[in-house]
Structure 1
Amino acid sequence: MEAASARAAARDRWGDLPSSSRTPSQLQRFVQAACSPENYEPNLALNLEIADLINSKKGTAPRESATAIVNYINHRNPNVALLALGLLDICVKNCGYPFHLQIGTKEFLNELVRRFPERPPMRPTRVQAKILEAIEEWRGTICETSRYKEDLGFIRDMHRLLSYKGYVFPEVRREDAAVLNPSDNLKSAEEMEEEEREAQSAKLQELIRRGTPEDLQEANRLMKVMAGYDTRSKTDYRAKAAEEVAKIQAKARLLEERLDAFKQGDTMQDGDVFSELAASLQSAQPKIQKMCEEESDDHEAVAKLLEINDSIHRTAERYKLMKKGDMEGAAKVAAGAPPPSAPSGAAVASSSSAANELSLIDFDADATSNGA
């Protein structure tokens, strides 16, 4: 009886959506449309639009959407539940920490497994299997690799509880889980600061919503950090950006070493270690340009960044030439000849407007005419 009362109280807290007593919000209407029983398959465009709306609205949007989605996951129509689980997966993989914080709450997780029997069935339903797969995926990714993994402990607890009860988690495909692992893309100091500010804001809002004495004490400490009063917890974003640049340099050196060890008869293919390293260098180029703009008053820092940029460009161009089979052109680049479409450091440093209009390196430029 007490268990039934607790479940009823949880449903009252989360509320069935949409409610006839109030006008549903735009976000709730979108979720309702995405999970409509009239849909025979997921509406990917609408699901992504919902994720974009959550990211743009911020504030209460992550909780509002998580609340709506988990109600549809518990719908009696399994097709509706599967549509809701597909939408949940899109939001988890596109809405970042503010949404992860919501799926990591006790309320959400208890609602997620509300229809699970005390003892596992001989064979789980499709909905149960998808829920188990989701929890397994979260436990192996954001609960281990996220910068804010300490806030996701209830996901690990739920995983342990279900395992103890005898539920078996399916194996998660590596390519599906990879999306949730931290990206190694270079971030500028400004981007890192903005990312942390959004995470702190989301956590502050959740702490205040929960409202326990411990939560309010933590909220007070967090507000001091956000306001700049607690300098002990202040992050040096420029130093962190420098660490990120150093990682890119290490990748450039590793690619150089592999290119030096490349022998006649060896091959390069899309998806191999060569292409992965080159892709990382390519994605770093616009970020290095952004860093040059942010550090425009520090001429020494700009000069260093431009030097790093030239080195990365040389390595990437050498890879492109070798992949095309132009070993002679690649050897010239390795010997110190200017690589094709080399950026002009002076031009970038002297004109910020030009930097805004033109990438430091055009990786799409045709290098074939420069190889011979």
Structure 2
Amino acid sequence: MSDNLMEKVSAFGEKLKIEGVEIGKKMTAGMNSMSFKMKELFQGGVGGSNQADKFVEEATSETLDQPDWATNLEICDMINSERINSVDFIRGIKKRIVLKNPRVQYLSLVLLETCVKNCEKAFSEVAAERVLDEMVKLIDDPQTVVNNRNKALILIEAWGESANELRYLPVYEETYKSLKSRGIRFPGRDDESLAPIFTPARTVAESEVISTRSQEVHEHQVPVLSAEQTKEEFNVARNSIELLSTVLSSSPQQDALQDDLTTTLFQQCHQSQLTVQRIIETEGDNEAVLFEALNINDEIQKVLSKYEELKKPSVAHAEAEPAMIPVAVEPDESPRLSKEDSLIRKSAGSRIPRGGENDDMMDDLDEMIFGRKSGATSEAGQDGNKKPSQPKDDLISF
């Protein structure tokens, strides 16, 4: 019975071996099928990558004179709607940054900035694809143009100081601190470089000054303006421009600059300029609004420049006035009088006290030609000339 049991166990073991081999073959076939499907998926991904590269190349073409905001925002929409994988776009941007063409590099940095400001996923993808390493290489490259180098530094500085928003991605802060420790000098940047701008709502740090905080709050409100609100902002800007221009043109210079109304209008124009500039950045797909905003921005800049020019000459003129008064008066007084005195023919009596030899010779000539004048010269004058008369008689007799 034990032999029968052993045979049954052996048969069962052989059966398990056969079934195990068959199961292994099935698993191998399944893995091969899965591998084939993954290959097809990746091939589809390559097609998506090619499509992403095409959009990136279009947005960063070397033939562009300025950023193509319409294409940049379209790329952001595709990333947010997941029509194309965001990784493909970030990789495409990285490829363009590596190129040595200055215009392509700059447009790539602008596109990168636009993506991280408008797409939540972009920061993670930028960190994962080591885009910051390529930006550091661009900064260290001595052949990089100054404008592109400064743009990369501004972005790294803004991201590195956004510790609260990017705490989960320490590579940004580490890269920023690494550059600072090497003594790299960062150029000045405006609040528009702060990122992220649209996500999340807590981008305003509590440690910032009140003026910067109010300005950033205003910047967060601009992108959600409706068409009517945008039109209203344009009207406010135009009214402020017209009022300030009228005040500066009609009032005396000092009165206009010291007037509280002028200061208020100047501040209103400056605030309107910030609003208009934010509208310019966010209305790239609406050409009519963009064109109108650009014109208004130019008008605001002109009136603000006029205000600044009026402030500078007033101080310079007040300091220069006292120096002009004493210059022309003193030097001519005594020479003019001395020249006039030298042109006057004086009488013999008036010349005697000065005792010059020229006066004595003139007296001698008068006596030789006309003789002694009776009544014309006073006896006091004759008495005064008694001593020099002796040498004059000797001279005549000789």
Give the helix-richer structure, 1 or 2.
Answer: 2
Structure 2 length normalisation: TM-score?
Answer: 0.37
Larger Rg: 2
